[in-house]
Amino acid sequence: MTEPALRAVGLSKHYGRRRALADCTLDIPAGRVVGLVGPNGAGKTTLLQLAAGMLRPTAGTIEVLGGRPGSGGAQLARVGFVAQDAPTYAGLSIADHLRFGASANPRWDQAAAEERIAALGLDPSHRAGKLSGGQRAQLALTLAIAKRPELLILDEPVASLDPLARREFLKVLMGFTAEHGASVILSSHLVSDLERVCDYLVVLVGSRVRVAGDVDDLVAGHFRLTGARCDPADLPAGVHVIEESHTERQSTFIVRAGGPPDTFAFTAEQLTLEDLVLAYMSQAASARPMLEPAR
Ligand SMILES: Nc1ncnc2c1ncn2[C@@H]1O[C@H](COP(=O)(O)OP(=O)(O)OP(=O)(O)O)[C@@H](O)[C@H]1O
């Protein structure tokens, strides 16, 4: 049986008295492109750094590809991580970075790395400290992909890329997963990008996982119900309200349900992924009780 890409049970992380992640339970299957989304300060970087073995949990457990994050060379070789600020060595050239990557990684793909640097129009003799922020991000992403990891963890990888570079990079990422059967977990605020490349989504708000699951299942299981003004208690059984809004005469509910709610009192529409994410974010803002993560 394939190990999950990431399994967390009751995972929490505190920085001193500040809670960054609370009681997070997740089971992310391998071979997927997973989008991690949530507002600023939600805990995304904390979760990704725990998965990369750069932080230790305060409570609970986390496993990545069946192993403890950061536990030895073999585990580290299986996981590629690009931090939010795309760290590189300012004094070293691009070619030096590639040489270093080759010496440190058993499955290093030098040809793919050189090809990508050329495709980006970067001069290998150029020092990393002289690159723009976006070029530095491209270098860090190239190094992570050339490592040929089984799981690639990317913290806001496209934030500093221009729209064309972003599209090109997401294409490279999809090619990488299709070709090597690798898993990818990436965080982003750009839900439209995630919608294009991700087949699994985790929404993290206020340190907690609000919802997680297959993108297709999530989209198929959420609806916007519109009808005459009423109370959530008037909705059919089996419907969980995520968000509600009311005018004098009309009520609109974003709900989670097993299928289109069986009622003549409302019109039901399916949501886009972006609507769904925004609904969970506003649910958290209004402190509605949390749903169990979808399986
Ligand atoms: N080193 C640290 N020391 C203290 N608090 C921290 C530290 N790193 C993060 N935090 C706090 O933990 C919480 C979660 O931060 P985190 O960086 O994981 O969020 P995020 O979802 O990645 O945010 P963003 O989208 O802004 O990057 C925030 O309240 C943040 O202030």
ipTM at complex level: 0.98
Question: Angle of helix 94-104 relative to helix 110-119, nearest 10 degrees?
Answer: 160
- CB burial string 141-155: b at 16+ within 10 A, e below: bbbbbbbbbbbbbbb
- Residues contacting residue 95 through CB under 8 Å, at least 6 positions apart: 124, 125
127-136, 254-263, 285-294 — most confident range: 127-136
Residue 51 in contact with ligand 1 by CB distance below 6 A: no
What is the pLDDT confidence band of residue 112, given thresholds at 50, 70 and 90?
very high
User: Is 177 within 8 Å of 105 (Cβ atoms)?
Assistant: no
* Tokens at 186, concatenated: 């990436």
Quick check: 291 pLDDT over 70? no
- For atom 25 of ligand 1, the residue with the nearest CA is 40
What is the pLDDT confidence band of residue 39, given thresholds at 50, 70 and 90?
very high
**What's residue 67's pLDDT?**
93
Mean pLDDT for the stretch of residues 145-164: 91
Residue 45 in contact with ligand 1 by CB distance below 6 A: yes
Distance from the alpha carbon of residue 277 to the mean position of ligand 1, in angstroms? 20
Distance from the alpha carbon of residue 59 to the mean position of ligand 1, in angstroms? 17
Sign of CA dihedral 176, 177, 181, 186: positive
**What's residue 213's pLDDT?**
96
Q: What one-letter code names the amino acid at 137?
A: A
**What's residue 1's pLDDT?**
57
Mean pLDDT for the stretch of residues 277-290: 69
User: Is 176 within 8 Å of 145 (Cβ atoms)?
Assistant: yes
- Residues contacting residue 271 through CB under 8 Å, at least 6 positions apart: 219, 222, 223, 224, 254, 279
Quick check: 293 pLDDT over 70? no
| pLDDT one-digit tens code per residue, 197-241 | 999 999 999 999 999 999 999 999 999 999 999 988 888 888 899
What mean pLDDT, rounded, does the chain reach? 90
**What's residue 244's pLDDT?**
92
Residue 38 in contact with ligand 1 by CB distance below 6 A: yes
**What's residue 116's pLDDT?**
92
**What's residue 295's pLDDT?**
41
Mean pLDDT for the stretch of residues 113-134: 93
